[in-house]
Amino acid sequence: MNRISPDKSRADFKSGFVSIVGPPNAGKSTLLNRMLGQKVSITSKKPQTTRNKIIGVVHRQFAQLVFIDTPGVHRTKDLLNVRIVEVALSTLGNVDLVVVILDIAHPDPRSEDFIVKKIEEHKRPVILALNKIDLIEKPRLLSIIDAWSKRYSFDAVVPISAKYGVQIEKLIQSMEMILPKGPPYFPNNTITDLPERFIAAEMIREKVFRLTGQEIPYATAVTVDSFSEDKTGNLVRIHATIHLERDSQKGIVIGKKANKLKKIGEASRKEIERMVGTQVFLKLFVRVQKNWRKDTKALKKFGY
């Protein structure tokens, strides 16, 4: 779907920046990965997996769409989550189009009200993507579409299933209709502007999310200390550190006889190998930085 070589010679070629916003766990990263045809943004069933703006580029025959996948938007007082929400909202005033994605199987009225208020402030074209339609019955879907159509003047309302790819083509077509005319911003082979080093750190953090309990993920940050390729080009060596807030968390992440850390490392290595296209040697370290989520210097150090 996104592999078509764009016809840049056409006078009506379109391009623009699109911000994907929604409550935590609405499926934003899953949608971006689906449209790109590969993973650049991490996912898990736990909310607030995404903490940074992730840029992905979809190439169409007569358009180029530059997506910004943002962290979940919600009301919060926690310093880390305040920073995360600020990142998400900072995109709204600088894009050509906003796509609001909602999980209609598990509504979050408080976050949804907050998002509607914010998009009203910025007055950008807005498409509503009603996600996870595979989890509800059609009569309920129709009533939800009707209710949201009356609530805000969206440029389009598209029910989708990001997980299964349902109506994703229709969603992209709706975006193309709204984008302004203009040349592409990125070359044809560009999928993301993020360095492999950053994506590797995110993949490791995703595995911590998926393989540990409820408390651990939100106390986790990952930094890549070294990322190098050998002279033959057949091996990438990565040293990375998993940062936690308490010694008790360190024990959980490492596990008995280091079994949990081995599982995190193996799962991360396999995914990074798919990304870089070669063998990877991954060495993980675990360090404790007390209450880093409440430390502004630590937040800055870890990129928040």
The second-level CATH assignment, the architecture, of 14-178 is: 3-Layer(aba) Sandwich (3.40)
Q: Do 93 and 123 form a contact (C-beta atoms < 8 A)?
A: no
Spatial CA neighbour of 32 closest among 71, 62, 61, 79: 71
Q: How many CA atoms lie within 13 A of 276 on its CB side?
A: 27
Question: How far is residue 41's CA from residue 172's CA, in Å, rounded to a whole number?
Answer: 18
CB within 8 Å of 150: residues ≥ 6 apart: none
Both structure tokens of 258: 């280091």
Q: Walk along the chain (304 residues) in steps of 10 and give the mean pLDDT of each run.
A: 57 91 87 85 54 78 88 54 61 86 93 87 92 95 96 96 96 96 89 82 88 71 87 86 89 91 94 86 92 75 66
Distance set, CA 293 to CA 219, 286, 302 (Å):
7, 16, 10
Give me the pLDDT at residue 77, please: 54
What are 239's strand-pairing partners? 226, 283
Burial class (CB in 10 A: 0-12, 13-18, 19+), 68: buried
Question: How far is residue 245's CA from residue 253's CA, in Å, rounded to a whole number?
Answer: 12
Q: CA geometry: angle at 288 spanning 283 and 291, to 5°?
A: 140
Domain extent listing, the chain: 14-178, 196-301
Give me the pLDDT at residue 2, please: 46
Going by the DSSP 8-state scheme, the letter that residue 278 receives in this structure is S
Give me the pLDDT at residue 66, please: 92
Long-range contacts of 39-45 (CB under 8 A, 24+ apart): 39/271, 39/275, 40/191, 40/192, 40/194, 40/199, 41/69, 41/202, 42/202, 42/203, 42/205, 42/206, 42/209, 43/206, 44/206, 44/209, 44/210, 44/217
Question: How far is residue 96's CA from residue 139's CA, in Å, rounded to a whole number?
Answer: 33
Task: Tokens 């929400």: give the residue.
Answer: 85
pTM of the model: 0.66
The second-level CATH assignment, the architecture, of 196-301 is: 2-Layer Sandwich (3.30)
What are 157's strand-pairing partners? 128
Q: Do 27 and 162 form a contact (C-beta atoms < 8 A)?
A: yes
Question: What spatial distance separates the first Cα and last Cα of the chain, rounded to whole Å?
Answer: 33
Question: How far is residue 221's CA from residue 288's CA, in Å, rounded to a whole number?
Answer: 10
Q: Do 44 and 209 form a contact (C-beta atoms < 8 A)?
A: yes
Both structure tokens of 240: 């990375």
